[in-house]
Structure 1
Amino acid sequence: MKMKNLKLYLFALLASGAIMTSCDEEENLVEQRKSDNPLPVVTDPSGSNGTVTLTKYVSIGNSITAGYMDGALYTNGQAHSFANMLGNQFQISGVGGTTFNQPDINSDFGYSGMGPGNTILGRYVLDLSIPGPKPTLTGQVPTAYAGNKAELNNFAVPGMRIVDINSAALAGSNPLYARFASTPGTSTVLSDALAASPTFYTYWLGNNDALGYAVGGGVNAAMITSQADFQNALASSLTALVGTGAKGVVMTLPPLVVLPYFRAVKWNAIPLDQATADQLNTAFAGLNAALNGLAAYNLISTAEAAKRKVTYQAGPNAILMHDKDLEDLGPKFDALVGAQAITAAQRVALEPYRQSRPATSSDLPVLSAATVLGTGTAPIGLAIPIEDKYILSANEVVKTVTARATFNQTIKGVVDQINAGAGATVITLVDVQPKFADLFGLDAATVDQLALGLGTQSSIAAVKAEADGQIVNGVNIGLGIKVNGTNLAPDFSPNGVFSTDGIHPNPRGHAIIANLILSAMRTAYGVDIPDVDVLAQRGILVQ
C-alpha cells in the first residue's frame, strides 16, 4: 500500500501558496528573524481622530482579538494582533490615542498542549517537508499576568463565546481569562472592560458560538449557542458599552467553513496504486454484498446501498468516514443473519460499517484528520471509517453555515435596534464577509450557498460585488487578495494570510482586518489614520 505520499494529498489545497520561489522562502526566513519585536511605524506619521475620541481604546473579543495564532497564545502573536495594530495607529501624532496595554503572556512559544512523555508543546510552525504544521517542543504553560490589571486595554479571551462575556464563572473554566481577571470568580470580561472607561471600543465575538461545534467535527450540536442566548448576551453587553458614551465598532462573523482548517485536507485524500485498490475491493466485497442484500430484502433503498458501498481505484480515493446522521444498520445486519443470508462471522466483520460511507466533495475533513488518516494496522479512513470528530459531514456543514448566518442576522438586528433607539449611529457595523468573499475567490452562487450577506439587498450586493467576475471559463482567477501587487493566499502557506492552525490569521491577516476597521472609521467618524502596512508584517513561521 503506497501511503507515503498521503501528506502530499492532504495539503493539496495549499497549492496556491505553497508553490513558492526560493526568493519567497528566503524573504520569509528573513522576516522570521525580525519577528521577535513588532515592526516600527513609519517615521513621523500624522493623522486626526475626526469625531471620535481615542484616548482609551478597549478591545473585546476572543482568540483573534487576543492575537492567538499558530495554535497558541505567545508574545509575538499578541504583538501582531489587529487590536494592538490599531492601538499603535491610534498613537500616531494628532490622533490622540495612548498606550495600548495587553495581558502579555511572556512566552516565545506559547502552549498548544502536551506531547509524548509529558513534553510541553508550543506554537505550530510550517514544516515544508510535509508540507504541514507541527508543534515546537519548547512550549510554556501560561503563568499569571504580572502587570497592572487596571491599565489593560485588550480584554480578549481565547475560547470565549459571546454568552461568556458577562459570566463570573469564565475564570474558573478559562485560565487565559483567570490570569488577568480583576477579581477571578467575581469579575467578568464585560465588567473589567467597562471599568476601563473606554472612549472607543472594538467588539468581535460570536465565532466560537458555532466554531467549536465545527472544529469538533460536528459531534456535539449542543456546542452551538442558541439564537436567543446569543441575542441576549449581545444586546446586554452592547447596551452597557453604549451606556458609557463610548463609540464603537462591532464586527460580523466570517464564513467559517471556508477556513483552511476545513479545506487543507481533501475529501479524497487517499492515494492508491491499482494493486492495492484491487486488494481492498476484494476485502470490501462482503460489505457491498451485504448492502445489496439489505436492498433486496427492502430493508434499505438501492440508493442508500449505493451511497454506502466502498470501491477503490488507482489514484486519489474518498475517505471512508463515520456519519452519525446515517441510519444505524446494525439491527438490519442482524436481520440478514436471521434470514441466513450471512453468517455470524460475517456479521462481526460488518460491525465497523454500521454508519459508514465514502466521503463526497460536500464533506469537510478537519485539519487534525491529517494526523490519523492512514495510520493503524487497518488504515484509518481506508480500511476502517475515520471517526466523526475528524470530518464535518454535509449535514454538519449546513448546521454550521445556518448558525453563523443566524448569528450575523442577529448582530445586524441588535446594532440597528440600538442605533435606532439612540437616534444616531452609536455603533458602526463592520461586515467582514465581502473581504472573505474576495480572499477565497467565491463566486456569486457560493456566496448564496454560504448565506453571506446580511439580509438586505444592498449588503448582499456588496458581498457579491467582491465575488462577481472571479470565475473565467471555470477557472478561479480571484483566489487571494492583492496588496500592492503581491497576492496573499487564503491559506497557511508562506504567502498566505492564515497562521499554521488554519483558523487564526497571521500578522498579515491581522493587518488586513485592522485596515478594514480603519476604513469603516474613516466613513463613520471622519478619522484620518494611515493604514497598517500589510506587507511589512511577517507571514507564517517556517521550520
Structure 2
Amino acid sequence: MRLIHVLLITTLLFFSACRLETSINPEKQINTPVNTSVGFYTRYIAIGDSQTAGYANDGLYNWAIYNSFPNIFAGSLEGAGLKAFNQPLFSIAQMNGTGFMELKGTDANGQPLIVRDTLKTAIRESINISGSGTIQLLSKFSGDNDNFGVAGLKVADVTNTQAGNTNRYFERLLPLNAPANNTSYVDFVTSKPFGFFTLNLGINDVFGYAAGGGVNLNSLTDKTIFNAAYAALVNKLTGNGAKGVLTTIPDVSTLPFFTTNRLTDILNKAKLINPAFDKLYIEAKQSTDAGQDDHETRTATAADLLLLSLNVAQIGKPVQTQHGVQYYGLSLYAPIENKWVLDANEIAIIEDYTNAYNKYIKATALSKSMALFDAFTFFYNVKGGMVIQGIPVSSNYLTGGLFSLDGVHLSPRGNAVLANMYVAVTNAKYGTALKEAKLSDYSAN
C-alpha cells in the first residue's frame, strides 16, 4: 500500500522536533483550530502502544512518527492552549529507525512485491536478557517527550518494573541501559505534570495470540490481570485531575492482516492447478475452550481467517509427507499449519477476551466521567467502507487508504481519521471546539 518517499522529509528533520508547528504532518499543516476557554490542555501526553507511537509499515521511523495520530491530534489542541508536542524522533543519520516495508510493484505471481528498507537504521547493539533471549536495542532518545507510545506494550506490562529491559521501544525512552532499568511504564509517563491525555492501549493483550494463529495461549492477558493493571494506569493518570480520552480495543479480525487472504480467491487459483481442488485444508482448534489445545485437520470455511503472513504462493506446491507427495493446503495430509490460520474457535476466544476488556474500559470511562472513543465500533463500521470528508476509505489492503503495508497499523490518512475521532469525542465530552484535520492533507500510502 505504501511507497515511502523518505527523502521528502530530510530537510524537515533539521527543524526542532520540540515545537508543535514542526511536528505536524510535513506534507501540510492542518487548519488552525478555534480558540476555547477550556484550560486543561497545557500539556498533552499520548499513552499507548505502537499505534500511538506512529509505527507503520512494520517499522518505527521518523516519517511514521511525524504522522502519528497523537501528533495530528496535538495540532487540533494548539488553539486550546497547547504550546508544544514533543515526539521521540531518531537522529537524521538514523532517521529510518527500525527500518520499514516498501512497496516495489508486483512479483511474477501478481502479488505485492514488498522489500525492507534497512538504510539509516538506529540499531544500537544486541544483548541477551535472561528469559527473553536476544534483544536488538535501539538508539536512546533523551529529549523532551510527550508521545509515550511503546510498540508491543500490553496493559499487563504497565506496572512491570522490568518491562524497560525486555521491550526495546520502552528501553529506548528510559535513561538507563538494559538490563538495569527498574521503572514501570505507569510511573515513567506520569513523572512530569500534564493536563490531558489519550489512552489507546490493550490490543496487544489479544493481538499476539491472534497474529500467531492462536498458537500461544500465554499471549492472552488474563481478564482479572487486565482490569487491575488498567485501573492502576487510569488512576495514576487522573490522580491530579487530568482529563482524557479512553479507547476501546478493535476487533482484530477487522484488520487487513486477517481479512486480505480470502478463501474464495485462493480456491479459484487452486482450480487453475486442477479443477478438482475445491477445498482448502487447515489445522484448526477443536474447541472454544481457551485452555483446551487439541487440533484437527478439516476443510476451511468462510468463518476461518488466513493470515497476511501466510505465503499463499506456496499453496498447491508439492510437499513430501508420510503419505507421499501432496499438494500443500489442498490435501488432508498437507494442511496449512495452525500458525497461519485464525480459525473460527480461536476467533470466538479472541472475541470473548476483547469484549471483556472493552466492558471494563467502558465502565472505567463512565465511572471517571471521561471521554470514550469506541474504536471497536469504528473499525467494524469502516471495514466495509465509508466516505469521510468526501474521501472513500475502507479496511481493504493496499486500496482502502487507511492501513499501511503491514495490514495492522494505519497510514498517515488513517492516523488523521483516528485523530479526528478523538477530536469529536473530546468536543462532545468537554465542550471544546477543536477543529478536525483535513484528510486530503495526508497521504493514503
Pairing 1:532–2:437 present = yes
1:321 aligned partner: 282
2:248 aligned partner: 252
Offset from partner CA, 1:132-152 (integer Å, 9 cap, x none): 362324252544555434x21
Contact 1:266–1:365 under 8 Å retained in 2: yes
2:48 aligned partner: 61
The Cα RMSD (Å) is 2.6
Q: Name the CA shift for 1:531/1:272 in 2 (closer, same or farther; >3 Å).
A: closer
Q: Name the CA shift for 1:525/1:409 in 2 (closer, same or farther; >3 Å).
A: same
2:114 aligned partner: 134
Contact 1:35–1:538 under 8 Å retained in 2: no
1:447 aligned partner: none
Per-residue deviation, 1:494: 4.1
1:430 aligned partner: 373
Per-residue deviation, 1:355: 3.1
Q: Name the CA shift for 1:128/1:539 in 2 (closer, same or farther; >3 Å).
A: farther
**One-letter code of the match for 2:358?**
N
Q: Name the CA shift for 1:133/1:526 in 2 (closer, same or farther; >3 Å).
A: farther
Per-residue deviation, 1:31: 8.2
Q: 2:360 aligns with which of 380, 401, 410?
A: 410
Contact 2:33–2:76 under 8 Å retained in 1: no
Question: More strand per residue: 1 or 2?
Answer: 2
2:145 aligned partner: 152
Per-residue deviation, 1:398: 0.6
Per-residue deviation, 1:89: 2.5
1:229 aligned partner: 225
Per-residue deviation, 1:46: 4.2
In the alignment, the residues of structure 1 paired with residue 50 and residue 113 of structure 2 have an alpha-carbon distance, to the nearest angstrom, of 19
Q: Name the CA shift for 1:168/1:229 in 2 (closer, same or farther; >3 Å).
A: same
In the alignment, the residues of structure 1 paired with residue 223 and residue 213 of structure 2 have an alpha-carbon distance, to the nearest angstrom, of 21
In the alignment, the residues of structure 1 paired with residue 409 and residue 72 of structure 2 have an alpha-carbon distance, to the nearest angstrom, of 16
Offset from partner CA, 1:103-144 (integer Å, 9 cap, x none): 1134454436xxxxxxxxx32436345343623242525445
In the alignment, the residues of structure 1 paired with residue 139 and residue 269 of structure 2 have an alpha-carbon distance, to the nearest angstrom, of 51
In the alignment, the residues of structure 2 paired with residue 182 and residue 170 of structure 1 have an alpha-carbon distance, to the nearest angstrom, of 14
Offset from partner CA, 1:42-91 (integer Å, 9 cap, x none): 46x24224434212111110000000011111111111010111223322
In the alignment, the residues of structure 2 paired with residue 500 and residue 29 of structure 1 have an alpha-carbon distance, to the nearest angstrom, of 9
In the alignment, the residues of structure 2 paired with residue 206 and residue 30 of structure 1 have an alpha-carbon distance, to the nearest angstrom, of 28
In the alignment, the residues of structure 2 paired with residue 509 and residue 272 of structure 1 have an alpha-carbon distance, to the nearest angstrom, of 32
**One-letter code of the match for 2:35?**
S
In the alignment, the residues of structure 1 paired with residue 116 and residue 298 of structure 2 have an alpha-carbon distance, to the nearest angstrom, of 36
Pairing 1:177–2:170 present = yes
Contact 1:489–1:496 under 8 Å retained in 2: yes
Q: Secondary structure at the match of 1:323?
A: strand
In the alignment, the residues of structure 2 paired with residue 133 and residue 50 of structure 1 have an alpha-carbon distance, to the nearest angstrom, of 51
Q: 1:381 aligns with which of 325, 329, 333?
A: 329
**One-letter code of the match for 1:154?**
N
1:42-61 paired onto structure 2 within 5 Å: 42=30, 45-61=32-48
In the alignment, the residues of structure 2 paired with residue 175 and residue 35 of structure 1 have an alpha-carbon distance, to the nearest angstrom, of 25
2:18 aligned partner: none
Q: Secondary structure at the match of 1:321?
A: strand
Q: Name the CA shift for 1:356/1:147 in 2 (closer, same or farther; >3 Å).
A: closer
In the alignment, the residues of structure 2 paired with residue 408 and residue 521 of structure 1 have an alpha-carbon distance, to the nearest angstrom, of 19
In the alignment, the residues of structure 1 paired with residue 385 and residue 272 of structure 2 have an alpha-carbon distance, to the nearest angstrom, of 39
Gaps of 5+ in 2: 13-25, 125-137, 288-294, 320-326
Contact 1:50–1:525 under 8 Å retained in 2: no
Q: Name the CA shift for 1:510/1:318 in 2 (closer, same or farther; >3 Å).
A: farther
Q: Name the CA shift for 1:128/1:108 in 2 (closer, same or farther; >3 Å).
A: farther
Question: Rg larger in 1 or in 2?
Answer: 1
Pairing 1:368–2:368 present = no
Q: Secondary structure at the match of 1:163?
A: helix
1:509-524 paired onto structure 2 within 5 Å: 509-524=414-429
Contact 2:386–2:394 under 8 Å retained in 1: yes
In the alignment, the residues of structure 1 paired with residue 196 and residue 337 of structure 2 have an alpha-carbon distance, to the nearest angstrom, of 46
In the alignment, the residues of structure 2 paired with residue 234 and residue 258 of structure 1 have an alpha-carbon distance, to the nearest angstrom, of 24
Q: Name the CA shift for 1:525/1:31 in 2 (closer, same or farther; >3 Å).
A: farther
* Normalised TM-score (structure 1): 0.67
1:55-134 paired onto structure 2 within 5 Å: 55-91=42-78, 94-106=79-91, 107-111=94-98, 122-125=100-103, 127-129=105-107, 130-132=110-112, 134=114
Identity of aligned residues (%): 26
Gaps of 5+ in 1: 1-17, 19-27, 113-121, 279-311, 327-353, 420-424, 441-478
Q: Name the CA shift for 1:244/1:182 in 2 (closer, same or farther; >3 Å).
A: farther
**One-letter code of the match for 2:50?**
S
Equivalences, count = 393
Contact 1:251–1:431 under 8 Å retained in 2: yes
* Normalised TM-score (structure 2): 0.81
Per-residue deviation, 1:357: 1.6
1:294 aligned partner: none
**One-letter code of the match for 2:225?**
D
2:346 aligned partner: 396
Contact 1:231–1:414 under 8 Å retained in 2: no
Per-residue deviation, 1:382: 2.4
Q: Secondary structure at the match of 2:381?
A: helix
Q: Name the CA shift for 1:210/1:224 in 2 (closer, same or farther; >3 Å).
A: same
Pairing 1:484–2:389 present = yes
Q: Secondary structure at the match of 1:239?
A: helix
Contact 2:386–2:392 under 8 Å retained in 1: yes
Q: 1:168 aligns with which of 156, 161, 167?
A: 161
In the alignment, the residues of structure 1 paired with residue 405 and residue 269 of structure 2 have an alpha-carbon distance, to the nearest angstrom, of 28
2:382 aligned partner: 439
